[in-house]
Chain A
């Protein structure tokens, strides 16, 4: 059965995505380390780090896509899982500084010395062990998602209400991590990292390895997501997305399906955060800001939700745009981002990937020998949109109507 799942996961386009990511994981570090600077084909250091960051964002977007695109849960708090994973990694990196900090305390990180801590808080114990920190990277976001999802899905909090309380969750964490007495460095966060696994964190080889690790982690995430959505469970997830009540009445435990997707997604987001921190060199409470989480949603939407490749493309394109705009035209970035939100929701409900599919469908339709009477591709896309919201497909022919809050 497992082999069957493996084969199912790797068929279709997912195998290409995984393969390309693995090639990137090897090729980019090789091009950075082996080809001397100045020669054609050399990838400069800053680009390695920059693209490493994009890949962690892509992982985060993929995690969101798993719950939003496939399970219909619009989480506006995925940044929280990302940041929690990042904080776990940051705590490990802080402990690795040892006595090289400004105050030279062998155990306590600088900010704790500054805030007059006499000993390590209990939740910092064990974080100097890499395996333990990595366990926390997975466990903490997973556990939070489990507890949160357990309560939310069991009491059938859905739709906009769920979105808003996920936003409240990340906002509460934002406020909490800003507090100095939380023991996470307050609004300065954790920074000034020196080593990771005994290697200096700024070294080119470390950077290249981190890039490779990120690309491999992304490939693994793609593989896992593909495995999930192509399994029977994945079919149930899509059923929950499209018609939750119907799935429930058919006998599926909708809340468990959602909970599973939510927890897996949170874990992937946490790992993405853990890979993000050593590459950018800082983690602070700003990562919890609700605005960040909403931005993740737009990456996913731009690329195309409900597809595996879409969120990856979306995250990379939007962030490249952001890097360009904030450097060249900082005034315009918010206009561009805001416009993107409006444009994508109005005109690209299925994102870039959906656009390609539509375009292909359109050309196929044009090449058909006999034009069908009702087969307009836009109408088809429209129908599936409505179906996603769980509306009765009989209503498809009518113009969209507002639906009062339940």
Chain B
């Protein structure tokens, strides 16, 4: 079995190596990937959407459908982990590790203090990454992951109960749903304003003092906030359920 696997892997590798001979050289400015669609994004992004960070404008505007469905995938994964692990009544064949006695408070004092000090700064930085994604590297996905990581850091440094007290299960679920709803809701508002789904230029009719171009910039910001909420809530949901096996008792 292992030998067959090795043969298949090496055959695949050789096929790929053979295919690579036709590929463009590394960092070639004239490679096919860089000469068809991407020059349009690079030259028109500022004029069409007023967003200098082209990655953000492509993510939120030009490829809005893709991003919306990726957010939905993250949400669906969070819900899948939740339904698989939470409150199962099936019999359990696992060998349970022995519970370790709660350590004395002074033993983890340094870890706890540093985690407590780090968390607010991480969350502040995450908000900066989300809000400043138009002008610097950042955006909804990155900021959402940093926000989720701040909660996971607290769950590791303290225990799961401390996080669940601040970020209840219901809140996490509602935030995850709200994130996807914000994204698709902004798309629906565009339809109600008689433009295409996710065509943010329609938003200039309801946002004060915005022309068509700035409306697209603001639309991207709204969408990024939705993405950040969904990613943060679902990462926390996945971590909390996986680390405590859906029982929400102690965690790692």
Pairing of A with B: no
